[in-house]
Amino acid sequence: MTIERKYFGTDGIRGQANREPLTPQTLARLGQAIGLHFMRGNHRHRVVIGKDTRLSGYMVESALASGFVSVGMDVATVGPMPTPAVAMLTRSMRADLGVMISASHNLFSDNGIKLFDPDGFKLSDGVEKEIENRLEGPLVLAAPPSLGQMVHLDDAIGRYVEFVKGSLPRHTQFDGLRIVVDCANGAAYKAAPLVLKELGATVIPLAIFPNGQNINDTCGATAPQKMCAAVRQEKAHVGLAFDGDADRVVFADEKGTLVDGDQIMALMATYWQDEGLLQGKGVVATHMSNLGFERYLNLRGLNLIRTPIGDRYVIEAMRDTGCNLGGESSGHVILSDYATSGDGLLTALQVLLVLKLKQQEASKMLNVFKALPQVLKNVKLSPLLLELAEAQTAIELARKKLENTGRLLVRPSGTEALIRIMAEAEDETFARDVVDSIAQTLTDLSKENVA
C-alpha cells in the first residue's frame, strides 16, 4: 500500500522546471529537509549529486546544494552521469545520501529529483513522507563554523566505467559486434560509447551531442525509430537506446525490430537459471509485464512476482523475496548481483554477453516467449472516477470476461491526470473491445458527474 505524499510521486519529485515545486526557493528548502533527515551521527555528512543534460539542471543543482550546505552537509557534484552511477557512487564513497537530478524520459522543460539512501537504494514511501513532514516545521540551519563544503568529483565517469565493466567476466571482449547506441542526448552520452569501445565493439553513436534542450527529443528509449533505422542501414548486430538518465534501455535486433523489456528479462532468467545463477525461484516485475512472460516462467518452474508500477517497488520486492532479477517491460531491468537500481548500460552489457556466448542472431535470442496481444489506452479523466461504484462494477465484469484467458489493469497515472487501461487476451480484437468499453463507461460517468 502506497502512502499519500505531496511532493513525491512514483519515482521521486518531478515537474516543470522553475515551477513549483521545482523553484529555487522550494528546492533549497527541500535540500535542507532532506539533508537534516540523513544527518545522523557525529561524522562529516556528504551528499553526492549527479544530473542529466537538461538546461535546468544547473539551477536545480545549485539550489539543492545551497540547502544541503546550509544545514552542514558536504556536497560532491559529479556532473552529467547516469542515475545508476549516482547510486553506485553514493555507496562506494560512503556518502549519506545520493541525489540524481533528472526527469528521466521527459523532454527538457521538465526536471526532477531521485534520492538514494547510503546503501544506494531509492527511498521508501515512508521515508519520503517523513521528509515532507519536516518541510512543515522549522528547519535548523548550521552555525557558520559547521557549514558544508562543495567539491566536484573529476574522476566520477571513470569510476562508473570500471564498475559496469567489472560486471563482466574477465577478458570479455565484444570485438566483431557492430552496435548502434542512441544516448538520447542524455546522461549516458559519454559513458555508453566509451564502455562499448573499450570492450572492442564497433560503435555507431546517435544523439551524443546534448545542448541542454535536445534530451529525449525524437531520440532515445521513448523514440527509438532512428536507432532501429540505423541498425538496418549500418547492418549492425544490435541496437541500444537509453532514456534521458540511462536507468533503462530498449533493444532492437539485427532487423531493426524493437524488443520488449519482458523479453530481456526472460533472456536473463533463462541464462541465469541454466547457469545456476538465478535466485529466489522467480523474477519480480510489475503489473504491466505480459501474461505470456508469466506463463513462460511457470513452464520453467519459476514464479513471476508482480508489484505496483515503479522500479523502486520492484527492488523492494526483490529484497523481500531474495530474487536477483527484476524489472519493468519499459526497459528498467534490475540485476541486484551488481547494482541497487535499474542500470541501462549494465543491462546492455549482460545481454550482449549472452549474445556473444551463444553466437546467435539477436532476433532469435531476444524472442524468448510468445507475448499475448496487449492493448493500452490513456484517457484524460479524473482518477477519482475509479472510486465510483459504477466504475468498479464495470471493471469487475470486464475482468471476469478475461478470466483464465487474459488480464485487465485499470489504474490512475502516477504523474498525470490520466486513467490508464490495459488488457491482454489471446485475441487482440477482444482485448481492444474490453479496453474501449471501460474507457466509454468512464467517459459517460465523467459527464454524468459534471452534469
Burial class of 258 by CB neighbour count within 10 A (0 to 12, 13 to 18, 19+):
middle
- 128, 23: one domain: yes
In a domain, 96, yes or no: yes
Query: Grid coordinates representing 371?
Result: 507475448
The residue among 255, 270, 302 that closes a domain is 255
- pLDDT value for 450: 59
The residue among 313, 340, 365 that closes a domain is 365
- 35, 149: one domain: yes
In a domain, 1, yes or no: no
In a domain, 440, yes or no: yes
In a domain, 336, yes or no: yes
- pLDDT value for 413: 80
- pLDDT value for 108: 96
> Residue 21: is the preceding peptide bond cis (ω within 30°)?
yes
Residue 305 φ then ψ, to 5°: -95, 115
- 19, 86: one domain: yes
In a domain, 209, yes or no: yes
Domain count, the chain: 4
In a domain, 92, yes or no: yes
pTM score, whole prediction: 0.91
- 307, 238: one domain: no
- 121, 174: one domain: no
- 209, 280: one domain: no
CATH code of the domain in which 325 resides: 3.40.120.10
- 53, 118: one domain: yes
CATH code of the domain in which 405 resides: 3.30.310.50
What is the C-alpha to C-alpha distance for residues 177 and 140, in angstroms, rounded to an integer? 56
Catalytic residue among 56, 70, 104, 336: 104
Query: Grid coordinates representing 420?
Result: 490508464
In order, the DSSP letters of 366-390 are T--SPPPPEEEEEE-S-GGGGGSHH
- 284, 248: one domain: no
3-class state of residue 403 by DSSP = coil
What is the DSSP secondary structure assignment for residue 50, as one 8-state letter?
A: E
- 263, 250: one domain: no
What is the C-alpha to C-alpha distance for residues 264 and 29, in angstroms, rounded to an integer? 41
The residue among 154, 188, 210 that closes a domain is 154
Query: Grid coordinates representing 396?
Result: 469487475
Q: Which of 142, 240, 254, 134 is nearest to 193 (CA)?
A: 240
In a domain, 269, yes or no: yes
- 324, 247: one domain: no
- 347, 215: one domain: no
Position of cell 527509438?
224
Write out 203-249 in H/E/C secondary structure: EEEECCCCCCCCCCCCCCCCCCHHHHHHHHHHCCCEEEEECCCCCCE
Total residue length of the chain: 451
Domain membership of residue 175 as a residue range: 160-255
- 337, 395: one domain: no
In a domain, 3, yes or no: no
In order, the DSSP letters of 80-133 are E--HHHHHHHHHHTT-SEEEEE--TTS-TTEEEEEEE-TTSPBPPHHHHHHHHH
| Model confidence pLDDT, tens digit, residues 54-98 | 999 999 999 999 999 999 999 999 999 999 999 999 999 999 999
Q: In the chain, which residues have pLDDT < 70?
A: 1-4, 414-415, 450-451
- Residue 446 annotated to the active site: no
